[in-house]
Structure 1
Amino acid sequence: MNYLKILLFVALLFSVRFGSAQDLSKHQWENRLVLLLSDHENNTTFQAQLEEFRKDLTGLDERKLIVYQVMPGAYRIGLDDGDAKKSARL
């Protein structure tokens, strides 16, 4: 029975590590990432943070900042309000 639990745990670790995770290595030594996390895209604090970043797009480019909007089950890259991409739910 313990072997089954260990096998299940290892399978879970691999699914979390290699599932639909984002490959952030493409940004290594190139960009700085800003992760805006929210429970819902209409959250007022989340929207206020997006507006602050939108006020200085030149500053974002100069600092090589890339904003990821992260919500449960979805994400967006950048400051657009377009369709969110689906991500794995844990």
Structure 2
Amino acid sequence: MSNFKLPLLLILLLNISTIMGQQISDYQWKNRLVVLLTDSQDSQMYQLQLKDLKTDLQGLKERKILVITLTPNYQITGIDNGIEQKAVLNFKKLKKETDGFEVILVGLDGYVKLQQSKLLTHQELFAQIDRMPMRRDEIKKN
């Protein structure tokens, strides 16, 4: 794992105080997180990302993906197969770019697997996850 991922993981774990009133540790090993960081929920990139993720809610469910949106003024919403989620995150500490949009994938183990400032299609997201050893084990068991 690269050196920047560990500090980002620690920041993420320290700054997520609750999701639906639970501790982040309650989701580790149970859910993968996709955190959408956007300066505005009106941004075109954010809207495209959210629309794309919502096209395959079954795929999100199969892969245990919880989607959270975070804006600078702490308006936090999300989708987990259509159910709204709430979290407390530190936008400025998580965001690498100075403006625009970013997406972060956190694996079941709590480590950051991907962080990018371009659209991540659900096909790319699923392919990334499906290559992970834990996901391959989930597929074998099913």
Q: Would you say same fold, with TM above 0.5? A: yes
User: In the superposition, relative to structure 1, how do residues 24 and 77 fare at CA in structure 2: closer, same or farther (>3 Å)?
Assistant: farther
Q: Residue 53 in 1 paired to residue 53 in 2? A: yes
CA drift at 1:26: 1.7
Question: % of aligned pairs identical?
Answer: 32
Greater helix fraction, Structure 1 or Structure 2: 1
User: 2:65 is matched with which residue?
Assistant: 65
Check conservation: 2:17, 2:88, Cα contact below 8 A: yes
Q: What amino acid maps onto 2:57 in structure 1? A: L
C-alpha distance in structure 2 between counterparts of 1:57 and 1:86, whole Å: 20
User: In the superposition, relative to structure 1, how do residues 30 and 88 fare at CA in structure 2: closer, same or farther (>3 Å)?
Assistant: closer
Check conservation: 2:36, 2:46, Cα contact below 8 A: yes
How many residue pairs were aligned? 71
Q: Can you give the 5+ residue segments of structure 1 that lack an aligned partner in the other structure? A: 1-16
User: In the superposition, relative to structure 1, how do residues 42 and 24 fare at CA in structure 2: closer, same or farther (>3 Å)?
Assistant: same
For the aligned residue pairs, the C-alpha RMSD in angstroms reads 2.9
Moved over 6 A (4+): none
* TM-score, normalised relative to structure 1: 0.63
Counterpart mapping for 1:10-89 below 5 A: 21-22=17-18, 23-72=23-72, 73-78=74-79, 87=88
CA drift at 1:71: 0.7
CA drift at 1:86: 8.5
C-alpha distance in structure 1 between counterparts of 2:89 and 2:29, whole Å: 26
Q: What amino acid maps onto 2:77 in structure 1? A: R
C-alpha distance in structure 1 between counterparts of 2:87 and 2:64, whole Å: 25
